[in-house]
């Protein structure tokens, strides 16, 4: 069967994990940023993965056992911001509370680690298929 399809499936995984990574890094970087009291604080974002048929260069019907992946949407976590009592903070509200983003830095770091591992695994899948194709051509040499 086809190694090209394996490469395309792996590539879709790389693309999805990269998008996820961007969102996670954005969360982490903004974990402790605050905004003036009348502005919405940063809210945590997340990605939704869904299986999708890869856009193959050749239109070969896959039999359902092989699927690529895509990020079908980026969602915002609507849970409440973390309120901290810091009356001297320039962004404190009239009660002295500052709204911090609903991001847990530790959690985001763990997620970043996981996304990195998944990215590397997909990279391995792509490279492996590529090597197999190269080996095949060596039969002719």
Partner 1 sequence: MEQIIIGPLNPKLQVPEIGSPQKPVAPNEGARFGDVLKDAISTVNELQKQSNQEIQKLMTGESQDLHTAVIAMQKADLSFQMMMQVRNKIVQAYQEIMRMQV
Partner 2 sequence: MKLDLFDDLMLDAMSAYLGRMSRRQQVVASNLANIDTPGYKSRDISFHATMQELLSEDSIGLKTSLSRHIQAGNPVSLQSAAFEVPGLGLRADGNNVDLDSEMLKLSETAFGYSLITQVVRGKFRTLALSINGGNG
Is there binding between residue 61 and partner 1 (CB under 8 A)? Answer: no
SS3 55: coil
Is there binding between residue 12 and partner 1 (CB under 8 A)? Answer: no
Decide which of partner 1, partner 2, none touches 57; Cβ closer than 5 to 8 Å per partner kind: partner 1
* Non-local CB neighbours of 20 within 8 Å, separated by 6+ positions: 47, 49, 71, 115
Question: Of 119, 134, 133, nearest to 6 (Cα)?
Answer: 133
Decide which of partner 2, partner 1, none touches 9; Cβ closer than 5 to 8 Å per partner kind: partner 2
Decide which of partner 2, partner 1, none touches 66; Cβ closer than 5 to 8 Å per partner kind: partner 2
**From CA 125, how far away is CA 35, in angstroms rounded?**
43
Is there binding between residue 128 and partner 2 (CB under 8 A)? Answer: yes
70 C-beta neighbours (distance < 10 Å), count: 20
Q: Point out which residues bind partner 1 (CB under 8 A).
A: 1-5, 57-60, 133, 136-137, 139-140
């Amino acid at each position: 069967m086809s190694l090209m399809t394996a490469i395309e499936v792996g590539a879709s995984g790389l693309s999805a994990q990269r998008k996820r990574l961007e969102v996670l890094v954005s969360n982490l970087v903004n974990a402790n940023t605050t905004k003036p009291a009348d502005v919405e604080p940063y809210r945590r974002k997340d990605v939704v993965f869904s299986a999708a048929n890869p856009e193959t260069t050749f239109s070969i019907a896959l039999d359902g056992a092989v699927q690529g992946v895509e990020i079908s949407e980026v969602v915002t976590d609507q849970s409440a911001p973390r309120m901290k009592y810091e009356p001297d903070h320039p962004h404190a509200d009239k009660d002295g509370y500052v709204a911090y983003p609903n991001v847990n830095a530790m959690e985001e770091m763990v997620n970043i680690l996981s996304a990195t591992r998944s990215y590397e695994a997909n990279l391995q899948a792509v490279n492996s298929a590529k090597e197999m194709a190269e080996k095949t051509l060596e039969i002719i040499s």
